[in-house]
Amino acid sequence: MTKEEKNQFIDVLDKSIQENSNFYLADISGLSAEESSNLRRLCFKREVSLQVVKNTLLKKALERNDSSFEELYDVLKGNTSIMFTDTSNAPAKVIKEFRKKHDKPVFKAAHLDASFYIGEEYLDTLSELKSKNELIAEIVALLQSPAKNVISSLQSGGSKLSGIVKTLAERAE
């Protein structure tokens, strides 16, 4: 890779980091070609972009960014892959699902909306996070619940009331 190609790659990587506030770092070394292909397919299905990167180039891209990513520098050792996504918990779910059959990928770190999660112990927590859309759906359901209860009470009350009026009308005759 020439110096110009490296600089272009760093620019592309920097742009991706700026556009995606959610990304994960993982180690996928040791996977066979078939396993790696299966992991990439799973990522594609879950709308996660997976890219193997050189640590030095990733570090340079992180240094160029306006945000401070110094906490991630220590995990930039060995094989590193970066996973970009719009849904904050998608890569963690992909990693956990794929590790049911394989021992890789190894979770290194994650950056989610200006927060850093470094180390394997955060993987379960990250996979259980609710996405923005899931939270909005829960809030809407909670807001709709009281209105639905009032409407169903009024409807059931109305049918009871009409039954009473009908019974009274029949008695009067």
What confidence score (pLDDT) does residue 154 get? 59
> Sorting pLDDT into bands at 50, 70 and 90, what band is 160?
low
The pLDDT tens digits of the residues spanning 58-70 come to 888 888 877 788 8
**Which residues touch 51 (CB under 8 Å, ≥6 apart)?**
81, 82, 83, 84
**Cα→Cα distances 147→133, 134, 139, 155, 157, Å:** 22, 21, 13, 12, 15
The pLDDT tens digits of the residues spanning 24-54 come to 999 988 888 998 899 999 989 988 889 888 9
Q: E strands along 113-168, which residues?
A: 115-118
Whether residue 105 has a cis bond before it, omega within 30° of 0? yes
Structure token pair of residue 119 = 């180390």
Q: How far apart are CA 69 and CA 115, in angstroms?
A: 10
Does the predicted TM-score (pTM) go above 0.75?
no
